[in-house]
């Protein structure tokens, strides 16, 4: 077999001098526009997190994390700190009653027998550290993807729940960074 040169595997970039076209005819003038658009990009807030992080707050998070100019830093810092507190509280574990309701709901959805108390207690032990929002979203995901008329395995639910927990933790991190950046240099007066 003949070896292919590594030069042919790279991206082909047309230069104006190569094409005989004016600058811009090859799209080179759009690089600045693309980099500006990428700088303004902000991640989409998942539907289950919109109660905590609105679209407006998402924009503020992005602005703070890009070290943009914020007119009222004190107000922005307070809004971001309150949202961070709410987002952290959402990571609290689901209670046993919520876990049982979700598992009974999945059993009814898949037309399988409702597990007895021993099995329900096993589900509670397995899912006791999973946040409620993640367990609810995982149940929705499993309902969309599970193909058999039987109860899904706990591993299936955990896999989907962990995906939502990772997304949530990414938003918590973005909030922490925004709170730190807007709070830097602020001196809050504490009345005693």
Residue 87 lies in a domain: yes
What value does the mean pLDDT take over residues 55-76? 86
Contact 49, 168 (CB under 8 A): yes
Residue 28 lies in a domain: no
Residue 35 lies in a domain: no
Residue 34 lies in a domain: no
* Higher local confidence (pLDDT), 113 or 13: 113
Rounded Cα distance between 31 and 12, Å, is 16
CB atoms within 10 A of CB 28: 14
Q: What's the number of domains the chain is made of?
A: 1
Spatial neighbors of 125 by CB under 8 A, at least 6 apart, are none
Q: Could you report the per-residue pLDDT of 20-39, keeping only the tens digit for each?
A: 555 544 444 444 444 344 44
Residue 146 lies in a domain: yes
Residue 121 lies in a domain: no
Residue 149 lies in a domain: yes
Spatial neighbors of 42 by CB under 8 A, at least 6 apart, are 58, 59, 61, 62
What is the three-class DSSP state of 131? strand
Residue 150 lies in a domain: yes
Query: Which range marks the domain in which residue 70 is found?
Result: 47-92+130-184
């Amino acid at each position: 077999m003949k070896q292919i040169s590594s030069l042919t595997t790279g991206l082909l970039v047309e230069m104006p001098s190569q094409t005989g076209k004016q600058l811009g005819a090859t799209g080179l003038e759009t690089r600045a526009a693309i980099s500006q658009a990428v700088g303004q990009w902000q991640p989409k807030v998942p539907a289950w997190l919109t109660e905590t992080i609105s679209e407006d707050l998402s924009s503020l998070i992005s602005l703070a994390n890009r070290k943009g100019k914020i007119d009222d830093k004190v107000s922005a810092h307070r809004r971001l700190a309150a949202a961070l507190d709410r987002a952290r509280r959402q990571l609290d574990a689901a209670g046993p009653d919520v876990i049982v309701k979700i598992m009974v709901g999945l059993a009814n959805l898949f037309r399988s027998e409702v597990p007895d108390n021993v099995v329900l207690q096993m589900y509670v032990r397995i899912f006791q550290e999973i946040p409620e929002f993640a367990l609810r979203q995982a149940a929705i995901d499993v309902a969309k993807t599970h193909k058999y008329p039987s109860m899904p395995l706990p591993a299936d639910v955990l896999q989907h729940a962990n995906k939502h927990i990772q997304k949530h933790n990414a938003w918590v991190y973005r909030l922490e960074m925004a709170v730190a950046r807007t709070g830097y240099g602020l001196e809050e007066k504490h009345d005693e």
